[in-house]
Structure 1
Amino acid sequence: MWLSRMLLAGAAGLIALALVAASAAVAADARPDWPKLHTNEEMIDDATRAPSIDTRDPLAVLDFVLKSLPARVKVHPTENYYYFWFWHDHVKWAGNLRLDPQERDRGLVNFAYFEDYTEWAAESRVNHRLLGAEDGVTVEKLAPLVYRVTFRGTAVEFALNDLSETRPPEGFLRPTEVYVGPVLDDSGLPFYLVWNKDQKLFHYILNEQAPAAEAWRASRISPRILIGNRTGFALYRDRYRDRKILIGIYASNAAVNNYYDGPFDQLPDNFIKDDTLHDAILALEPGLKGKIDRFGNSPGGKERFLIGPYMQWRTEEDLAVVKRCAADPKIKGERWYGCFVIERQ
């Protein structure tokens, strides 16, 4: 299955863009360790603000974005997207800057923005540009995984997420499994991307060594199925290892392509060793030989092989198909892991 790069460019993101003109003074008694307070007042003020930029002009929007950011930012998601959103002309807009591993060292950065998706409105057109020196945009490598983007006198350093030392703990993987790399999803949840070479399937397995980013509760249908209160992600407690496998995302999140639509678009691009991912994809889909690069991209990079083995659920009863399969006494050993591949990969 192929995944449109334009869809990725339209993904909603992890980091809300702070509007300089709307930033409020910090309350005198606020403590730095307290949660950040968000108010309805701010939302209404932003939604009713008079338009001030030309959203038809990508360079004008880029200028606004860079000038609204601090001098240095952290790019958390592992496909190197820095997501933002803002209100303009009574509409919520979303977008991202992406420092692709095959383009950033050539002085190029992807920039995309669009009217944010909703379930009740038609999908909006994504404004996407690959920007470089011809557009007045400079991309400089300052250090491994640190890049500076400069445009119209404004420079912002983008520190990509360095997970190069992230490994599953001893005994975490089964003998038939290969660790592809670390994933930090735009939901904030960390996973290990794992390839089962015996069964020819992928899993996203929760990385519980990383800081917690979710409050999990047992589902109504099985204590082995956990559901995230914030994200709607569903996990299954492995029978053979002390670990949790991603089995589902909430369908409404997938419909609007938001932060919680699953880790299919946050593969570990900076940390993929040699042809590990490429060879796994070909083992699953031999017909793609000669048609993908080592990241699973089609020629030109407009599409990417989709790794999304989890289901989309709306009620907890939808997850019962996993419960029934995993409880079947006739399904044992490596075959048991096929119970968690719900959608075609």
Structure 2
Amino acid sequence: MTPASFMPRGFRFARLCFGLAAAAMVWAQPVAAASANTITTNEAYVDAVRAAPAFDITDIDAVFDHVFSQLNDEVTVYPTENYYYFKFIHDAVPYAGNFRLDIADRDDGIVHFAYFTENNPFTEQQLSKHRAYTAELGVTVEKKDSLTYALTRKGRTVTFRLNDLRDVRVPKSKLGPGEDYLGPVFDEAGVQMFLLWNKELKMFLYVLDENVPSEDYFQSETSNQVSIGLRTGFAWYQDRYLDRRILVGVRAYETSLNTFFDGPFDQLPDNFLEGDVLRRALLELSPEVEGQIDRFGNSRDLTGRMLVDPYLLYDDQSEFTVLDQCAAAAVDPATYYPCFAIGQSK
């Protein structure tokens, strides 16, 4: 366990989209909704790289206008932490960014907007900007219902529909003794999960929602209990006691670059948490932050958030052997399930 820690919100704003090959999807005017078999082309990517810059990349208002003008009249925000991601290329430099309707302040008429040079393994981030837009700054945020918000700027309105998972419930067959269901998680990799808290063992678990297919899997070469997503690299352990798969691994490389595949540690069920169940669970793990976090695990000044990351960050499949060794030595659920929370920040 690591010491009690917050992930800075500045880091959260620096989340990435897919690799450069996906960039072509952004430049349509406006962006078309993806079909089941949308293609991206190298031609579109090269054209974007060669295009003359049409606005000042250091002017956050100009960048907001550029991105906002290309959105459909209605968009869907899939991740449950309410980020809407985008990317573009400007003067041959790739950028990524997001709009965020944060549950902590969206009803106060605030939308967060951020963009930044895309992270890569060979250079430091060159530019990163963020602004909380309000009516005073030229953007109005109108609440249509609890999961629908209309953003208006310079006479144009775009409706943001947040992912409606209010009816998602964990099947009783996938809920073990001492476990509480906190809510549904839909992360930016397109994987839907159940977030569970075991109040007896004081640990979190992410369990795959297999009613919502997201990818194919292959069996790990080092553990016959671990299956790995072909698309995401997420590693899942077949539970000994229940018919369910537990998230036990996310690729460390993806986390280091903050990509779509960096795991659900911050894509929590913000819109669906009941009362302060998450805050109470976090305080069980880290009582020293009493009085410092809100019910979502945010710091009081909203500059950081506590992590829910019980899984391993792995580089090689051989690292799963520690899970098998722990599970083999376990004699009951009380000694078995803690094997899958060895990565939890505290």
Alignment partner, residue 308 of structure 2:
307
- SS of the residue 1:180 aligns to: strand
1:258-308 superposed Cα distances (whole Å, 9 cap, x missing partner) = 100000121000000001101111111111111111111111110111111
1:138-181 superposed Cα distances (whole Å, 9 cap, x missing partner) = 00011220001111222110000010111111221112001111
TM-score norm. by structure 1 comes to 0.93
Contact 1:66–1:155 at 8 Å: present in 2 too? Answer: no
Contact 1:5–1:302 at 8 Å: present in 2 too? Answer: yes
Q: Within 5 Å, which residues of 2 pair with 1:105-116? A: 105-116=107-118
Q: Supply the AA of the counterpart residue of 1:49.
A: A
Which has the larger displacement, 268-277 or 6-15? 6-15
1:93-133 superposed Cα distances (whole Å, 9 cap, x missing partner) = 00000001121111100001000100111134421111101
- Is residue 9 of structure 2 the alignment partner of residue 5 of structure 1? yes
User: 1:72 Cα shift?
Assistant: 0.2
Alignment partner, residue 258 of structure 2:
257
TM-score norm. by structure 2 comes to 0.93
User: 1:20 Cα shift?
Assistant: 2.9
Q: Supply the AA of the counterpart residue of 1:334.
A: A
- Is residue 91 of structure 2 the alignment partner of residue 83 of structure 1? no
Contact 1:249–1:313 at 8 Å: present in 2 too? Answer: yes
Q: Within 5 Å, which residues of 2 pair with 1:7-22? A: 7-13=11-17, 18-20=26-28
The change in CA–CA distance for 1:23 and 1:109 in structure 2 (over 3 A counts) is closer
Q: Within 5 Å, which residues of 2 pair with 1:97-108? A: 97-108=99-110
Alignment partner, residue 295 of structure 1:
296
User: 1:33 Cα shift?
Assistant: 6.6
Contact 1:221–1:320 at 8 Å: present in 2 too? Answer: yes
CA distance in 1, matches of 2:334, 2:126: 43
- Is residue 41 of structure 2 the alignment partner of residue 39 of structure 1? yes
CA distance in 1, matches of 2:150, 2:286: 38
Q: Within 5 Å, which residues of 2 pair with 1:91-240? A: 91-210=93-212, 212-240=213-241
Alignment partner, residue 318 of structure 2:
317
Q: Could you list the structure 1 runs, at least 4 aligned residues long, displaced by more than 6 angstroms after superposition.
A: none
Structure 1 unaligned segments of length 5 or more: list them: 25-31
Contact 2:223–2:320 at 8 Å: present in 1 too? Answer: no
Q: Within 5 Å, which residues of 2 pair with 1:325-340? A: 325-328=326-329, 330-340=330-340
CA distance in 2, matches of 1:126, 1:245: 35
The total of aligned residue pairs comes to 336
- SS of the residue 1:50 aligns to: coil
Contact 1:13–1:96 at 8 Å: present in 2 too? Answer: no
Alignment partner, residue 266 of structure 1:
267
Alignment partner, residue 285 of structure 2:
284
CA distance in 2, matches of 1:23, 1:269: 27
Contact 1:78–1:183 at 8 Å: present in 2 too? Answer: yes
1:27-61 superposed Cα distances (whole Å, 9 cap, x missing partner) = xxxxx975112211111111121111211111111
User: 1:13 Cα shift?
Assistant: 3.8
Q: Supply the AA of the counterpart residue of 1:307.
A: V
Contact 1:247–1:342 at 8 Å: present in 2 too? Answer: no
Contact 1:182–1:193 at 8 Å: present in 2 too? Answer: yes
Over the residues paired in the alignment, what is the CA RMSD in angstroms?
Answer: 1.8
Alignment partner, residue 27 of structure 1:
none
Contact 2:179–2:198 at 8 Å: present in 1 too? Answer: yes
The change in CA–CA distance for 1:38 and 1:191 in structure 2 (over 3 A counts) is same
1:299-324 superposed Cα distances (whole Å, 9 cap, x missing partner) = 11101111111111111112221121
- SS of the residue 2:174 aligns to: coil
The change in CA–CA distance for 1:75 and 1:106 in structure 2 (over 3 A counts) is same
- SS of the residue 1:20 aligns to: coil
